[in-house]
Chain A
Amino acid sequence: MSTLIMIDQASYGTWSGREALDMTFSLAAFDQPASLLFTGAGVIWLKRAQDTAGIAQKSVEKNLSAAPIFGIEAILADRSACQKYGLDETSLITGVTLVDANRALLDQYDHTAFAG
């Protein structure tokens, strides 16, 4: 049962992105196949060089970069959203696969969920 967890809200302003990451890491910890899909403003979670000290939150950049080590199968980002927010190979963290967030993509997964 492969799962796609979707994140469509931007980083740090709301907690649904963090909660989605916790869900995904939990699935991986229990050996359940899981991938992350970032769409809309959510793609900004994947930007390199996040300095969160000034807003008193922990950065998720290291966790996301280490996702494969934790057993997460793929970090997917919607191509057109990345374009909209000016993200390319040089500004994205490593390990991101650009995709078109379309029906064909969704159909590859048995289970799709948001954290909130």
Chain B
Amino acid sequence: MADTSPETFTLVITGAPYSSQAPQTALGFARAAVDAGHRIARVFLYGDGVHLASALCTPPSDETHWPKEWASFLEHHGIPGIACIASALRRGLVNEAERKRYALPGSNLLHPFEIAGLGEWVEGRRTSARTLYFHAGG
């Protein structure tokens, strides 16, 4: 199947690592899209998907470290990875700025993930050829 011109994607991940396949399927898609010459405008973590941005995940050494796999991919290709602020704060995913703002005992957002609002999703959708959602299965 030959593709034509490069296109832009926004990917939304709502399923958490170690609770669903969403991060794994999304990474498979993302790698394939980049390999085919397409661009990923943003990866947006929403709902339980924000757990993918945790710097504190400690899976057993023989399991894939999903936050690090994703962080490495995002950094290598210069793709913004954004955790929705409302989802992130509720679930205890915070960066330094939020730690200070709420006087929390620590911060745990893994670089290069950032925290921002749903406006990033709205904008990503508006400017992307396709927006795909990776939800928890069932």
Q: Give residues in A with beta carbon < 8 Å to B.
A: 1, 15-16, 19, 22-23, 26-27, 30, 32, 111, 113-116
Do the beta carbons of A116 and B118 come within 8 Å of each other? no
> Which of A1, A22, A114 is B118 in contact with, Cβ under 8 Å?
A22
Q: How many angstroms from the CA of A26 to the CA of B87 in the assembled complex? A: 14
Do the beta carbons of A23 and B131 come within 8 Å of each other? no
Do the beta carbons of A19 and B47 come within 8 Å of each other? yes
Do the beta carbons of A114 and B135 come within 8 Å of each other? yes
Additional A-B contact list (6), CB under 8 Å, known A26-B122, A115-B46, A116-B14: A19-B14, A22-B118, A26-B117, A26-B121, A30-B119, A111-B125
Taking the closest CB of chain A, its distance from the CB of B86, in whole angstroms, is 7
Taking the closest CB of chain A, its distance from the CB of B14, in whole angstroms, is 4
Chosen A-B contacts, 22 in total, with CB atoms closer than 8 Å, are: A1-B126, A15-B47, A19-B14, A19-B46, A19-B47, A19-B87, A23-B118, A26-B117, A26-B118, A26-B121, A27-B122, A30-B119, A32-B122, A32-B125, A32-B126, A111-B125, A113-B12, A113-B131, A113-B133, A114-B133, A115-B46, A116-B15
Q: How many angstroms from the CA of A93 to the CA of B74 in the assembled complex? A: 44
Do the beta carbons of B122 and A116 come within 8 Å of each other? no
Q: Is the interface of A mostly helix, strand, loop or mixed?
A: mixed
Q: Interface range on chain B: under 10, 10 to 19, 20 to 34, or 35 or more?
A: 20 to 34
Q: How many angstroms from the CA of A18 to the CA of B128 in the assembled complex? A: 25
Q: How many angstroms from the CA of A114 to the CA of B46 in the assembled complex? A: 11
Residues of A within 8 A of B122 (CB): 26-27, 30, 32
Q: Give residues in B with beta carbon < 8 Å to A.
A: 12, 14-15, 46-48, 86-87, 117-119, 121-123, 125-126, 131, 133, 135-136
Determine the residue in chain A with the shortest Cβ distance to B122.
A30
Do the beta carbons of A116 and B135 come within 8 Å of each other? yes
Residues of B within 8 A of A27 (CB): 122
Counting chain A CB atoms within 10 Å of each CB, which of B117, B122, B133, B135 scores highest? B122
